[in-house]
Amino acid sequence: MILRTFAAYILDRDGHIANRIDLLCLDEAAARDSTEALAADDQIELWDGDRLVGEFEPAKWS
């Protein structure tokens, strides 16, 4: 089993990086699932190296 590293960047309300969490996941789908769980409270960008995988916004900001 080979795990891949994804970077989840937690953004503040102005869109600036406030923190980074490295995720070790089997694949992109698992990384998305993990990021959705993190995005309950924060806006997050998920990156695979230099490729943006997705942007996640918490429901409470909508």
User: Are residues 10 and 17 in contact, defined by beta-carbon separation less than 8 angstroms?
Assistant: yes
Supply the pLDDT for residue 60.
66
pLDDT tens-place string over residues 39-59: 888 899 999 999 999 999 886
What is the residue range of 11's domain? 4-56
pLDDT digits (tens, 9 = 90+) for 13-36: 899 999 999 999 999 999 999 998
Under a CB-based contact definition with an 8 Å cutoff, are residues 60 and 20 in contact? no
- CA 17, chain centre distance (Å): 12
Question: Are residues 16 and 1 in contact, defined by beta-carbon separation less than 8 angstroms?
Answer: no
Asked whether residue 61 is assigned to any structural domain, the reply reads: no
Q: Is residue 42 part of a domain?
A: yes
Tokens of 39: 């995005």
User: What does pTM read for this prediction?
Assistant: 0.88
Kindly state whether residue 16 falls inside one of the protein's structural domains: yes
**24: how many CB neighbours lie within 10 A of its CB?**
11
